A and B are shown apart, each in its own frame.
Chain A
């Protein structure tokens, strides 16, 4: 047994209730365990207790016993335990402590007294495994968020730890990099027999690699079992933890819930609900239908004067890279747009230009109203001592925070902070014409995402244009009609969300991946409708032309 919790109760200093409540748990060597649960229910604390930071570093009261690789965390602190385990937390910026990447990865090895040859070999090996060998001589201050995450992971893995603890490692990564990281963890587990304990909100990304899922609720273990049993538990007790695939199956009345895309497709094929090939003429017809809807939306918006127009916008760094390369873009009033693309594609820069925070090196930006920009970290907006001092009463009421005006902004939950930041940027005598959001769902659980999506849809219905830069295809599918894909500073696709997210593999929702893009279905509800229709057909025939509408369209 590599990790054992024996009746552990832990309370943070000054907290009124325990973050971990009588937790007992045993993890065997070589297992891949997934920690699931809503925000604030104890996942991160469990990881911090497993590496000794709780209570050695954070203080607080601790009862019970945690044993890691045979070492009790009561007797051994994080420095000793760190020799046996690798840890990767959510914010990579605070996990890089040296100036260069090579020094960063060398540090744990040097700290444990390894010889220069061992250090050099360890650094080279882990850099090659993680594909960051080209970064070794770079300064850590020059890395992008995704690169920082990889370097921090390399520093965690370089000592070949027997146990790796990861807290939402994919939250900063684009879908491709996120999938690569999950695949890499599986490879490390299989090749090195490393035990993985991974906390994640986007379960659909990693459920398929898990041997076991531990669900937490109110600091307690609510469920501990294999992925299949976890999905049954989620369907019954915690629907916010259901994967989109499992939800689609449940809505369509198909059992058992699928653990991953592959299993889902196999089940559907076995039931005759999915043809053997991925693309069929019927699917193409559904794409055409989706395009017809898109043309209707575009022609409707095309009659209006755009509220935001980028004309040949370039952003070139002095003696550096080109971030935006001649971007042309028009947004009409009331449009909802998802801005997607890999890390470093230029999404955040484009939003900054839209809001006037940056000036193009060439080209121009025209706005017919204010552009409100909500940046990635809502905490950056909170400077005052009272919620009521941060924004007007009307703005607070609009986001449902009018009852919390006397609270300190730092005491709000993640979702509430996000809403407060939204109230701050949209506050003012004139409502903004455009609302731009940069990665608003980072670190959010599914419930908080749904609340935010509803708020954005409401604003769009009132005529505000909403543009969201996101790595989260599920969120894009819920809240956007139009999707723009950026690549190396160019707009490489600008089309209906259904067209972009239905046909892809990485830039696609789980529903679309399972159904192979059929019917343009992106969300579980749409997928379930399609499956029910398929199940009701006596013989194979072409799909109906108008099945089903994306939610965002239907809601308009």
Chain B
């Protein structure tokens, strides 16, 4: 998985925009998914991210991250149903007295609220995956170093560790496959994977020391200010900046005016006025508009 989320320069509008503007656009989508609770709005954001991923040539990899999202989202739904058992009026399963929780009634409202939170988390994972794949981390780090040197240093180390540890894990797994009886060990796959994970984690410290030593020698710790080349804003920079502002404006408008409103308790209530549909329909549209312009996408 980690190997799939490595940035590669591809011919797309998002890759062509400078990293800071691409990050702004991705951050606006992430912020919109934090602000909104309406399932339609969250679904629209998810759709926008997937559309952007396919337009950027990384659709399969981002769609692949849905598996991770599912692993994270499913427990959220389950936990919320149990943790919020006292909330909501529509009981669909009375479990009776369960020590130490007392009376446990599972409600439809808690289930729906859990699903909404899971949708939110899914959106955030998708945005993160798209940003990892389509926004140049080197350029972004150089940009960040102007403001926070230490954060950029930590981020550099963390970013480099992901592919390194993925490569380590791949090599260790390959070495295990060459052991005699490796196929028979399939019965003990869980134990075998635990051993691999332990070896990768224990190797992570050595790896991080090596990478940190290199960063030190390359002068990253010198704290010198990065002098960047002034270059004019491209059509893609402007398009993504405009798109980011529009996404934020729509999300804020929906939240403040209550047109994209959602309440789970005590009963599920969704706004479904024409304004709701308009805002939720406009969100993916404005998010994807920058991808229509494919001029000058090779840099």
Contact = CB atoms under 8 A, between A and B. Distances in A.
The yes or no verdict on A and B being binding partners is: yes
Interface of A: 51, 53, 57, 77-83, 87, 89, 91, 93-100, 103, 107-108, 110-117, 120, 137, 139, 141-142, 155, 355, 357, 370, 372-375, 377, 380-384, 424-428, 432
Interface residues of B, number: 51
B210 A91 contact: yes
B129 to A, nearest CB: 16
A383 B196 contact: yes
Interface string B76-109: 0000000000000000000000000000000000
B118 to A, nearest CB: 31
A425 B195 CA distance: 17
5 contacts: A79-B219, A83-B219, A97-B157, A355-B178, A383-B176
A77 B180 CA distance: 47
Nearest to B142: A110
Nearest to B139: A103
B7 A427 contact: no
Interface of B: 6-9, 136-139, 142, 156-157, 159-160, 163-164, 167, 171-172, 174-181, 195-196, 198-199, 207, 209-222, 224-229
A53 B211 contact: no
Contact of B217 (A87, A120, A355, A370): A87
A113 to B, nearest CB: 4
Given A381-B179, A383-B196, 19 more contacts: A57-B209, A57-B213, A57-B216, A79-B217, A79-B219, A82-B218, A82-B219, A89-B210, A94-B210, A97-B160, A100-B138, A111-B218, A111-B222, A116-B229, A357-B174, A375-B175, A424-B179, A428-B180, A428-B181
B224 A141 contact: no
Contacts, number: 142
A184 to B, nearest CB: 20
A459 to B, nearest CB: 15
B217 A51 contact: yes
B175 A381 contact: yes
A103 B7 CA distance: 13
Contact of B221 (A79, A116, A428, A432): A79
B interface SS class: helix
A81 B215 CA distance: 13
Contact of A112 (B164, B176, B222): B222
Contacts of B171: 375, 377, 380
B219 A370 contact: no
Contact of A94 (B181, B207, B219, B220): B207
Nearest to B175: A380
Contact of A82 (B142, B159, B164, B217): B217
B211 A97 contact: yes
B6 A380 contact: no
Contact of A99 (B136, B172, B174): B136
Contacts of A115: 227
Contacts of B221: 77-79
A372 B213 contact: no
B218 A97 contact: yes
B218 A108 contact: yes
